[in-house]
């Protein structure tokens, strides 16, 4: 692969942020661009080549409002209580809470909500089966977000409506036996570019041959 291609790919991989405050609520998103990104997304792997994914694209304003109200029921008290997480990165958490609160308040205004679903009831699965099921849709969800980002659209993986997913299922006619895995708000982003996030050094979180063994 030519070096210049690698540069572009690495840039997308390192700058696909969770976009909330820079979502452009006023710019319409073409259905074709969603389909184009989903077409790329479903090149992702699935356990046993199961391809049990289904994607619900919600553009209807009344349905987006209903989903946003469900989301806020969970998100508002959760975000007020603060987020958990790694103590060493807690300096970032204030900004995440602020940004997540903004998204919760404005979610109904985001022009497209994408709800990735997968066939199967995933509650109380043993670890190997849960990994197999979630692992058969989350790589595609991330590919979808990467494809969006490379076309000038922002997104954020959210999971906060899942405690009331049954009500979202009723709203969207999702049948029993199908599990919602998140809700991805999608819009064009404002501004030009994003920066890599600050993460712990990879050497600190990578062990070689044994737990906590440095290279
Ligand atoms: C499994 C998962 C669930 C998440 N759920 C939410 C959510 O419900 N709401 C939200 O605003 N962000 C959510 N996020 C986004 C994270 O807050 C975000 O990835 C994190 O703060 C790091 O920021 P970055 O993605 O820009 O690097 C979720 C991310 C993941 C991976």
Going from the C-alpha of 148 to that of each of 186, 197, 212, the distances in angstroms are: 8, 18, 36
199 located within any domain: no
Is 198 a domain residue? no
Inside any domain, residue 205: no
Pocket test for ligand 1, best of 72, 158, 163 (most atoms within 8 A of CB): 158
CA–CA dist 29, 65 (Å, integer):
17
User: pLDDT per position in the chain (215 positions), as tens?
Assistant: 666 789 999 999 999 999 999 999 999 999 999 999 999 999 999 999 999 999 999 999 999 999 999 999 999 999 988 765 555 457 678 899 999 999 999 999 999 999 999 999 998 899 999 999 999 999 999 999 999 999 999 999 999 999 999 999 999 999 999 999 999 999 999 999 999 999 999 999 999 999 999 99
| 139 located within any domain | yes
Q: Which CATH number does the domain housing residue 176 bear?
A: 3.40.109.10
What's the pTM value of the predicted model, to 2 decimals? 0.95
Ligand 1 centroid–CA 139 distance in Å is 15
pLDDT of residue 4: 75
Ligand 1 first shell, C-beta below 6 A: 17-18, 20, 96, 100, 103, 156-160, 197
Instruction: Tell me which residue of 135, 159, 139, 136 sits closest to 147, measured CA to CA.
Output: 139
Tell me if 4 is assigned to some domain. Answer: no
* 172 CA → ligand 1 middle, Å: 24
Domain membership flag for residue 108: yes
Structure-block tokens of residue 110:
């985001």
Number of domains in the chain: 1
Q: Which segments within the chain are labelled E, that is strand?
A: 53-58, 112-119, 153-155, 178-180, 184-188
Indicate the burial class of 92 (C-beta count within 10 angstroms; 0-12, 13-18, 19 or more): middle
Euclidean distance between the first and the last CA atom of the chain, given in angstroms as a whole number: 28
Containing structural domain, residue 103: 15-192
């Amino acid at each position: 692969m030519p070096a210049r291609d690698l540069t572009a790919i690495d840039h997308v991989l390192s700058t696909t942020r969770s976009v909330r405050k820079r979502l452009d609520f006023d710019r319409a998103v073409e259905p074709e661009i969603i389909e184009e990104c989903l077409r790329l997304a479903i090149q992702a792997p699935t356990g046993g080549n199961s391809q049990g994914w289904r994607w619900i694209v919600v553009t209807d304003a009344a349905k987006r409002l209903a989903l946003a109200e469900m989301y806020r029921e969970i998100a508002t008290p959760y975000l007020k209580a603060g987020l958990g997480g790694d103590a060493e990165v807690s300096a970032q958490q204030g900004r995440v809470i602020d940004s997540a609160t903004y998204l919760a308040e404005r979610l109904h205004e985001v022009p497209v909500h994408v709800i990735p679903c997968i066939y199967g009831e995933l509650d109380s699965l043993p670890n190997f089966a849960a990994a197999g099921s979630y692992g058969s849709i989350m790589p595609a969800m991330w590919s979808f977000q990467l494809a969006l980002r490379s076309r000038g659209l922002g997104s954020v993986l959210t999971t906060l409506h899942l405690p009331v997913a049954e009500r979202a299922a009723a709203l969207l006619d999702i049948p029993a036996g199908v599990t919602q895995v998140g809700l991805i708000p999608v819009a064009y982003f404002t501004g030009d570019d994003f920066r890599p996030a600050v993460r712990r050094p990879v050497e600190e979180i990578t062990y070689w041959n044994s737990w906590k063994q440095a290279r």
